[in-house]
Amino acid sequence: MLQAGGPAMGKDFFDREEEIKEAMGSLEKDNILLISPRRHGKTSLMREVVRRLRNK
């Protein structure tokens, strides 16, 4: 079976600042639908959003 790396977390996560802000802003009042091809960083992005919201 093909082994691929898991989501980028903590210090391995970089950039995506605009996407993080946009997702966090939208989540204040709406659900969001995140669409991109596989391995473009959706899970990593949302894990970072969760991390930041927990720290709030």
Ligand X SMILES: Nc1ncnc2c1ncn2[C@@H]1O[C@H](COP(=O)(O)OP(=O)(O)O)[C@@H](O)[C@H]1O
Q: Which stretch binds Mg ion (CB under 5 A): 15-23, 28-36, 37-45, 47-55?
A: 37-45
Cβ–Cβ < 8 Å for 51, 44: no
Distance in Å, CB of 25 to Mg ion, minimum? 22
51 scored as a contact of ligand X (CB under 6 A):
no
- Is position 44 an interface residue for ligand X (rule: CB under 6 A)? yes
> Under a CB-based contact definition with an 8 Å cutoff, are residues 51 and 19 in contact?
no
- Site residues (CB under 6 A) for ligand X? 5-8, 12-16, 36, 38-44
